[in-house]
Amino acid sequence: MLPEPTERLTFRRMTGADLEAMAELLGNPDVMRYYPRPKSRAEAQAWIDWNLANYANDGFGLWVLHTTSDGSFVGDCGLTWQEVDGRRVLEIGYHVLPAHQGKGYATEAARACLDLALGPIGATHVTAIVNPDNLPSRRVAEHVGMNVETMTLDRDGRPIVVYALQRPVRSVSGS
Question: Mind listing the pLDDT tens digit for each residue in 40-60?
Answer: 999 999 999 999 999 999 999
Q: What is the pTM of this model?
A: 0.91
Q: What is the pLDDT of residue 168?
A: 65
* Mean pLDDT value of segment 24-41: 96
Rg (CA), the chain: 16
User: Distances in Å between the alpha carbon of 165 and those of 9, 143, 168?
Assistant: 23, 11, 10
Residue 171 predicted with pLDDT over 60: no
Q: What are the E-state strand segments in the chain? A: 9-13, 62-67, 73-84, 87-96, 125-130, 147-153, 159-166
For residue 124, give the nearest of 171, 85, 161 by alpha carbon: 171
Question: Mind listing the pLDDT tens digit for each residue in 74-89?
Answer: 999 999 999 999 999 9
The rounded percent of the chain whose pLDDT value lies above 90 is 92
Residue 4 predicted with pLDDT over 60: yes
- Summarize the chain as % helix, strand, coil (round to 5): 30, 30, 40
Taking a C-beta distance cutoff of 8 angstroms, is the pair 109, 65 a contact?
Answer: yes
- Domains of the chain with bracketed CATH: 9-166 (3.40.630.30)
For residue 97, give the nearest of 160, 13, 38 by alpha carbon: 38
For residue 47, give the nearest of 30, 29, 23, 73 by alpha carbon: 23
Residue 67 predicted with pLDDT over 80: yes
Give the Cα separation of 88 and 135 in Å (integer).
25
